[in-house]
Amino acid sequence: MSAFKPLVFSGVQPTGNLHLGNYLGAIRKFVALQADNDCIYCVVDLHAITAQLVHDDMRGQIRSIAAAFIAAGIDPKKHIVFNQSAVPQHAELAWIFNCVARIGWMERMTQFKDKAGGKNAEQVSLGLLAYPSLMAADILVYRATHVPVGDDQKQHLELTRDIAQKFNIDFGSHIRKAGTGVDIVVGEEPVHAYFPMVEPLIGGPAPRVMSLRDGTKKMSKSDASDLSRINLTDDADTISKKIRKAKTDPDALPGEVEGLKGRPEAENLVGIYAALSDKSKAEILAEFGGQQFSVFKPALINLAVNVLSPITDEMRRLMDDTSHIDAILRDGGERARARAEKTMKEVRDIIGFVQ
């Protein structure tokens, strides 16, 4: 192999209703990327039990995410859509990566520190601490080269690169002997690598969608107020109500992006409009600069309803009879397992396990 074959991987957790932030920050990117890339998209159900072990309707949540993928435009025949637990090689590689990674690396992860809460660190699951090893395995079990991520996942992707680099260096002679590596350069250092240095795909006018009730907080499934987010299952009336009630400030919209500084709610709504319309914030402000929110919000409502309603309708149709979704997940799982097992056979050979 002279180079790593380009491959895009990403996943979404089946926890709570998908919302506008998930769509703009992830699923919409997934759809766009499939035009020019080989893509694998996963419902990461193993991750869903790291913070909360028992779920009332895990199967329903998994199917809902898969339905959102399909309704948004992902083609499960040209690409792969599956649920993570259907491919046991994810967990197998994650264990190996647990032995590659260092505890200090895991403890420095911002999300772990936020969720463990310092004094409560001894009470959280080991899975929450080891979460980034499983995320690295999700990506690298397919030797994926690119991952579309939001700003909050950049640190985990950097850790994935650290794990890949340490594995490549520790097993360098084994990789060369196995004949399955690729000559790459990391920084200025030549490395004969089995795993690629994964690159993040971050971009778009709204890479991070904020709460409709507080522009300084990320839009979240776990927010106590349903008014803080637009769910992909919301009907047109509910979308309209939430945008009308969205927090703003008394000033008119500025004519330039610089004028959004210090106005988080205004910046959030402009960013949402820009992302939904595939335009830049500058283009939106050129159109609405000087206008009050009483003018801007109705325009945003019309745009959001036009973009989201077809997706919502198709999700509902798919969830009314889940046999089609289940068939897609089974087919995707079989195809994903075949790819993942090829990697694991080579990894076992590199490590020296008897097969």
Mind giving me the DSSP string for 98-135?
HHHS-HHHHHT-HHHHHHHTGGGGGGS-HHHHHHHHHH
Nearest to 256, CA basis, from 226, 229, 295, 283: 283
Asked if pLDDT for residue 149 goes beyond 90, the answer is no
Tell me 26's DSSP state.
I
Q: Find the mean pLDDT for residues 204-223.
A: 85
Asked if pLDDT for residue 120 goes beyond 60, the answer is yes
Asked if pLDDT for residue 16 goes beyond 90, the answer is no
Tell me which of 166, 218, 241, 247 is the catalytic residue: 218
Residues 6+ apart with CB under 8 A from 48: 13, 14, 15, 55, 58, 61
Q: Find the mean pLDDT for residues 265-285.
A: 94
Tell me which of 115, 241, 247, 342 is the catalytic residue: 115
Nearest to 200, CA basis, from 142, 161, 143: 161
29 is annotated as an active-site residue? no
Cβ atoms of 23 and 150 closer than 8 Å:
no
Q: What is the pLDDT of residues 81-103, one digit of tens each?
A: 999 999 999 999 999 999 999 99
pLDDT for res 118: 63
Average pLDDT, the chain: 92
218 is annotated as an active-site residue? yes
Cβ atoms of 88 and 96 closer than 8 Å:
no
pLDDT for res 203: 66
Question: How do strand 182-186 and strand 189-193 relate by DSSP bridges?
Answer: antiparallel
pLDDT for res 230: 96
- Straight-line distance from the first to the last Cα atom of the chain, in angstroms, rounded to the nearest whole number: 23
Cβ atoms of 313 and 287 closer than 8 Å:
no
pLDDT for res 30: 92
Cα 266 from Cα 256, distance rounded (Å): 12
Tell me which of 29, 217, 221, 245 is the catalytic residue: 221
Asked if pLDDT for residue 36 goes beyond 70, the answer is yes
Backbone angles phi, psi at 210, to 5 degrees: -100, 170
342 is annotated as an active-site residue? no
Asked if pLDDT for residue 204 goes beyond 70, the answer is no
Cβ atoms of 43 and 84 closer than 8 Å:
yes
